[in-house]
Amino acid sequence: MAAWKNIALLTISPRVGWEEVEASGLETERVMSSAYYPLLALLSVSCFVPMIYDHNEYTLSGCLIDAIIAFAKYLVSYFIASYLLSGFYPELTKSKLAVTRLNNFILYSSVFLIVPEILINVMPGLFAPLYFLMVFSLLVAYRGLDHLGVKKGKRTKFFIIAACLIAGMPVLLSYLFHLLIN
């Protein structure tokens, strides 16, 4: 339940939310099992909702493929982002606490990409303002730089790399998975 509380606080005020993330001291595995995996499951289930609105265009097999890709792109992108950020910035992984902070940073920032995608899947038509909610993940990630303890001189470079990995990797993986399947 604490992970959901952190997500709610990050939604209301990213700065206060990151302070609460720091204070709660949740392990990455707990955040993943209590919030990230259920959100990925909900995202996968939401891929079947378009069958209700347009059963001629959306087939069960097509929605199943979309559900698998939606789940896999965020799961794989988390591991890739964690690995690459640890490699680019080894000073952020010098202790177990630092690794937990970095991984939680990636997870909580990714949540704000997943939730709008769920909403986009369940809406019957294209509602473009929901895509702007995904930009909110960048604000959450930016406010999380204090939580990570990134040095002042490296903040801009770290933020650009982190934003590309956290927000861009799911898009790239989705494209690649669709290429492999089609």
> What percentage of the chain reaches a pLDDT higher than 90?
54
Nearest 5°: phi and psi at 131? Answer: -65, -30
**CA–CA distance, 90 with 119 (Å, rounded to integer):** 36
**CA–CA distance, 146 with 161 (Å, rounded to integer):** 16
pLDDT mean across residues, the chain: 90
Look at residue 1 in the predicted model and tell me its pLDDT.
67
Look at residue 146 in the predicted model and tell me its pLDDT.
85
Angle, vertex CA 62, rays to CA 61 and CA 67, nearest 5: 95
| 81 within 8 A of 137, measured Cβ to Cβ | no
Q: What is the pLDDT of residues 119-155, one digit of tens each?
A: 999 988 777 777 787 788 888 899 988 888 888 888 8
**CA–CA distance, 25 with 43 (Å, rounded to integer):** 26
